[in-house]
Amino acid sequence: MASQVVVLDPQKRERRRQILDAAKHVFADSGYHGASIHAIIDRADIARGTFYLYFESKSAVFSSILDEAMESLRRLMHRIDVDDPNAAPPQVQLRQQIVGALEFVVQDRALAMLLLSAGHTPDAEAAERLDQFFGEVRDLLRRAFESGQEIKLLRKVQPELLAAAFLGMIRGVVEHIITHPQPPTVESVVDEILFVALRGVLA
């Protein structure tokens, strides 16, 4: 049976967003294990009862943050259009998508810090949920490489292996950008990634 989509009115959507933003910063500052619902409601400046109107637990709000981040990445990373004669060249579309996805992460420092906590959290539930998130990212990258081969943008590659390698590189780049006192621009980082990483796989 398909789950029903609950549509919130604008005021409730804004309150939910307020809670998610507060939770994201609390998780980024304290880690999942150190975060508490009390800290989240304190930062969001809401009553405890208000929190439970939207989320049943700390785990639920954590999962919602990752779900929304994944949804945004799926919108940003999509199949390159080679059928529309007015579309930009495939290489340009590829660059635009990578720039958009990287900007989405690094411009939200709290989200970036939360994602970088993967592998460092002592909480098994959070570690499992982060592993699931990055598994979805790897799958997104794998399908992108498969698509690149189909449209002859890439030479024959091992999509799953390449996706794992790219994910590791991207995580390292995100960490460098958000921790460096004078970070490079996202566009310059993407140009470097494309030059170094894709040079060996472009058709």
Phi, psi of 202 (to 5 degrees): -70, 140
Torsion-angle region of 55 (φ positive above 0: left; ψ -120 to 50: alpha; else: beta): beta
pLDDT in tens, the chain (203 residues): 444 444 568 888 899 999 999 999 999 999 998 999 999 999 999 999 999 999 999 999 999 999 999 999 999 988 888 888 898 988 888 889 999 999 999 999 999 999 998 767 778 888 899 999 999 999 999 999 899 888 888 888 899 998 999 899 999 999 999 999 899 999 999 998 888 776 766 66
Q: What is the pLDDT of residue 25?
A: 96
Q: Which long-range contacts (C-beta less than 8 Å, at least 24 apart) are formed by 41-49? A: 44/18, 44/19, 46/15, 46/18, 46/19
Task: Specify which residues 154 forms β-bridges with.
Answer: 202
Q: What is the 3-state secondary structure (H, E, C) of 64-112?
A: HHHHHHHHHHHHHCCCCCCCCCCCCCHHHHHHHHHHHHHHHHHCCHHHH
Query: Could you read off the pLDDT of 162-193 as tens digits, one per residue?
Result: 899 989 999 999 999 999 989 999 999 999 88
Q: Which amino acid is at 28?
A: A
Q: Which CATH superfamily is domain 59-197 in?
A: Tetracycline Repressor, domain 2 (1.10.357.10)
Domain ranges of the chain: 59-197
CA-CA distances (angstroms) from residue 19 to 43, 138, 145, 168?
8, 28, 36, 30
Q: What is the pLDDT of residue 3?
A: 40
Residues with Cβ within 8 Å of residue 147, at least 6 apart in sequence:
79, 80
Task: Specify which residues 202 forms β-bridges with.
Answer: 154
Q: What is the CA radius of gyration of the chain?
A: 19
DSSP helix/strand/coil, 131: helix
